Amino acid sequence: MARVQAALLPFLYPCLESSPLHVGRRARLLYRSIATRRYQSTESAIPDGAPLDHPLSSHLNPPPTDYGRTIFADKATITLSAGSGGHGCISFLREKYIEAGPANGGDGGSGGSIYIQAVRGETSLHKLARRSSIKAGRGKNGQGKDKGGQRGEDVLVQVPVGTVVREISRRDPVAEEEEIRMLEAGSEKGGVEATRGTWRRDKWMQYPSSTPSEYAMANFPPLPKPRRSNLALSQPQPPIDLDLSEPMEKPMLLAAGAMGGLGNPHFMTATDRRPKFATKGEDGLSITLELELKLLADVGFVGMPNAGKSTLLRALSRSKARVGNWAFTTLQPNIGTMVLDNGHGRAQVQASRASGEPRTQISIADIPGLIPDAHMDKGLGLGFLRHVERAHVLAFVVDLSVGDAINSLNILWNELGEFETLKGKETNMATESRIVDWKPINKSRPSASARNGAVVRNEDNAIIEPSGSRSLPDLPMVPMSSKPWFVVATKADVEGTQENFAKLQAYLDALAKGTQNHPSKRKNVWKGPLTAIPVSAIRGEGVERIPEWTVSLLDD
Ligand SMILES: Nc1nc2c(ncn2[C@@H]2O[C@H](COP(=O)(O)OP(=O)(O)OP(=O)(O)O)[C@@H](O)[C@H]2O)c(=O)[nH]1
Ligand SMILES: [Mg+2]
């Protein structure tokens, strides 16, 4: 019977043969070869009439135990701490015939900085999710003979493209110190002067052999102002809110390392050539960030549980997504990649991305199924929709073998509508809470113009060009209803699905003509050509139309 079904497929669904699809010439050429090679090779390998569980068809009809488990996390909360500065050194020149040499302690090295970079290739935040904090290296202490301490090691945090970074809290010891000083300056006259002569364990280094009485007697100079490294000017303006939707060529600075302490030569005076103190390094800035990954796939599958999404993903790519004949087989998003090659492993450069880059592959996101009332947290809820929220094209995967396909499509659109509504509410709430809560504590931060890329002259007259502080443009968020979409009608090999498919196609035609209300019940819906592509994913039949159609929609 399977043989009969397989043979009947083009006849059952004539649109497979005489294509009413308005696929661009480019797209048609592009996929012709791969479609024939990749899918028909599987097909021809399976003898006609073979049962679906034939060993050769196991890639598309695998047992539930045959799947590649990918570790996936789409959220992480992490505290990033820039390195603290090394301490200044207290040392004195020792040379033959020089009895009591002058101070020659080196400054402490500055701490390591923390950078972030969005890269292609990373697909999950699990590496960050299992760490609660990341610290950059501490600067080394200064040494004798005026040797400065080594810089601390920088840390580069690589995240997948599509990560949204939001700041939860930050602790900036330099800003805190500056604030204390300003308060003191406000409350007491000469507040800064009041710090003269005071010993602060957290700020001053004492000569190791100093006795407690020497501590008490020592005439400490005013504590030097807390210092920030020049790099700090390139830090993004707090609160950090980044949308890393493009791969970044260069890493972006998040937290600059703290400055090292001053060696004892800084405190030499005309009367005291041998000061027995140096300062400690500053503590590093630490920022707690919430990272959220919104997969940036080209196509997002939306469908009910058990519709055949994962099987379809397997048919289109080399994905080893789990397939099982029960609802919620997929519990985490799967990403598959369709390689657009010419059949000989060479890239067929016929499609291009918006950036002009040639498109050599199409990424697909397969997410857990949606059930009616998923927005009321039924099933696995709507949370996973954020992974298809940014897909350029939505593919509604509808099972022809169970119930009315039009009804299934309407349920899916309804849930998408609810997701949009919830998201709108969330955005409003987040904006409100930001407006009320955020109070910059660091009044002596560089001005906004300085941070926005202007050339800045700091106290030491060094010219700093903050190259890393590029402001990232917000990703234009297209509402789901305005995205190009199409329907993949799966399980077309099952008997009696023909009528269901015909009704679905008629419904889509009516939608395209405007004689039917759009299932999203929204205005500004996408007005492109609508189609349903009948496929039998389990047999790899009809699936070659999907990349063709997708490329034409992506090129739109
Ligand atoms: N006859 C037939 N069965 C199919 C086809 N595609 C998938 N199936 C079967 O349908 C069942 C569900 O397939 P899955 O790919 O796991 O479905 P899913 O949509 O990913 O399900 P969830 O992950 O639970 O949402 C499996 O038993 C598949 O073998 C098809 O084209 N024809
Ligand atoms: Mg699945």
pLDDT of 380 reads: 75
Q: Work out the average pLDDT over 449-471.
A: 40
Pocket mutation for ligand 1, best pick of 4, 53, 329, 388 (most atoms within 8 Å of C-beta): 329
Which one has a higher pLDDT value, 436 or 215?
A: 215
Is the pLDDT at 466 greater than 50? The verdict is: no
- Report domain extents, the chain: 2-69+296-425+482-554, 83-284
Q: Work out the average pLDDT over 13-38.
A: 45
The CA 193 to ligand 1 mean position distance, Å, reads: 76
pLDDT of 338 reads: 82
Read off the pLDDT of residues 130-143 as tens digits, 9 standing for 90 and up.
888 999 999 999 99
pLDDT of 370 reads: 85
Residue 368 Cβ inside 6 Å of ligand 1? The answer reads: yes
pLDDT of 352 reads: 61
> Residue 455: pLDDT band by 50, 70, 90 thresholds?
very low
Q: Whose CA is nearest to atom 27 of ligand 1?
A: 325
Task: Respond yes or no on whether ipTM tops 0.90.
Answer: yes
Report the C-alpha dihedral over residues 313, 315, 316, 321, rounded to 10 degrees.
30
Which one has a higher pLDDT value, 432 or 143?
A: 143
Distance CA 398, CA 314 (A): 16
Is the pLDDT at 459 greater than 70? The verdict is: no
Is the pLDDT at 234 greater than 90? The verdict is: no
Range of lowest pLDDT (223-232, 438-447, 474-483): 438-447
Q: Who's near 412: CB < 8 A, 6+ residues apart?
A: 302, 303, 304, 370, 396, 398
| DSSP code at position 284 | P
Distance CA 226, CA 210 (A): 25
Pocket mutation for ligand 1, best pick of 8, 67, 309, 311 (most atoms within 8 Å of C-beta): 311
How much of the chain, in percent, has pLDDT values that exceed 70?
Answer: 75
How far from chain centre, in Å, is Cα 28? 33
Distance CA 240, CA 60 (A): 44
Secondary structure class of 363 (helix, strand, coil): strand
* CATH T-level fold of 83-284: Spo0b-associated Gtp-binding Protein; Chain: A, (2.70.210)
pTM of the predicted model, to two decimals? Answer: 0.69
Read off the pLDDT of residues 253-311 as tens digits, 9 standing for 90 and up.
999 999 999 998 998 888 888 888 889 998 999 999 999 888 778 899 999 999 999 99
Which one has a higher pLDDT value, 523 or 471?
A: 523
> Residue 51: pLDDT band by 50, 70, 90 thresholds?
low
Q: Whose CA is nearest to atom 12 of ligand 1?
A: 306
Is the pLDDT at 52 greater than 90? The verdict is: no
Beta-bridge mates of residue 301: 366, 395
How far from chain centre, in Å, is Cα 88? 39
> Residue 29: pLDDT band by 50, 70, 90 thresholds?
very low
pLDDT of 110 reads: 92
Read off the pLDDT of residues 334-373 as tens digits, 9 standing for 90 and up.
888 888 765 665 555 466 666 666 677 888 888 888 878 7
CATH code given to domain 2-69+296-425+482-554:
3.40.50.300
Which one has a higher pLDDT value, 512 or 383?
A: 512
Asked if 311 contacts 2 with a C-beta cutoff of 8 angstroms, the reply is no
> Residue 392: pLDDT band by 50, 70, 90 thresholds?
confident
Is the pLDDT at 324 greater than 90? The verdict is: no
The CA 308 to ligand 2 mean position distance, Å, reads: 7
Q: Work out the average pLDDT over 456-466.
A: 39
> Residue 21: pLDDT band by 50, 70, 90 thresholds?
very low
